[in-house]
Amino acid sequence: MSDLTIRELHELDELQSVFALFGEIWGAAPGSEPITVELMRALSHAGNYIAGAYRQGRLVAATAAFFGSPVGESMHSHVTGALPGHAGGFALKLHQREWALARGLTRITWTYDPLIRRNAYFNLAKLGGRPAEYLQTFYGTMDDAINGGDDTDRVLVAWDLNDPHVVAAARSTPIPVPVPADARHALYERDSLPVLGRTDGDTLLVDVPADIEALRRTDPGAAKAWRLALREVLGGLLADGAHVTGFHNKTSYVVARGTSA
């Protein structure tokens, strides 16, 4: 990341570049982009966080966040997009964390699609975030290259900036998540389809498919089955008070019953 330049963005031409980058990443139709130039301009002018990561003068990642509740303690990171192969997303999150800490904030939240493996790994294993809530169809239907018209179920991640897992992740030394030998698979894959397992153990593993975005294109029925199964299993466990403690082997949520994350 040493050749990346991270800076806050305020000017219209900078924000237009962010808009273009997000359009490239999401492939959204006109009018359905994740955020507009005008809204970024207003957020930035009001003192919120809009930042970009540059490599050799090229914008490779960007993020937009705003102050949230509880007031004076939290910020919500609404959208972050990064081109692959530049480590811009991780660099931006570290910059975002330092920016928030400098303003007395202790928590950053954001949402992500819990079916996308790489995002689950990035948010939970690499950054040390922890799911706080399962949100069904949070944004309605989004027909872009990433969401493909699927229901927009999301997990709300809480990134407690002084938590030992987060501090270790910021130093690029993430803390391993223990998985006991008697952990049970509550959801697993067979022939590209989800299979419901047992949910009565103390530690449960909840698998997600290798590439849900490709599955949405090649087998929409299987993709829908995964959405409903994960909603039932992971969403149900979180609603019942279970805690996700990490993401194991880049494939599975680790869920503990009756244990704080």
Q: What is the pLDDT of residues 54-80, one digit of tens each?
A: 999 999 999 999 999 999 999 999 999
Cross-strand partners of 49: 65
- What is the pLDDT of the chain when averaged over all its residues? 93
Domain ranges of the chain: 4-170, 184-256
What fold characterizes domain 4-170?
Aminopeptidase (3.40.630)
141 has pLDDT over 80 = no
Band (26; pLDDT cuts 50, 70, 90) = confident
What local confidence, expressed as pLDDT, does residue 137 receive? 93
For the entire predicted model, the pTM comes to: 0.92
241 has pLDDT over 70 = yes
29 has pLDDT over 80 = no
Band (261; pLDDT cuts 50, 70, 90) = very low
5 has pLDDT over 60 = yes
CA–CA distance, 67 with 175 (Å, rounded to integer): 28
Q: What is the pLDDT of residues 191-203, one digit of tens each?
A: 999 999 999 999 9
DSSP state letters, 154-216: EEEEEEETTSHHHHHHHTT-PPPPP--TT-EEEEEEETTEEEE----SSEEEEE--S-HHHHH
Q: Which residues contact 106 (CB under 8 A, 6 or more apart)?
A: 73, 74, 100, 160, 161, 162
- Please report how many Cα atoms fall inside a 13 Å half-sphere around the Cα of residue 154, on the Cβ side: 17
Band (144; pLDDT cuts 50, 70, 90) = low
Band (115; pLDDT cuts 50, 70, 90) = very high
Band (142; pLDDT cuts 50, 70, 90) = low
Which residue type occupies 126?
K
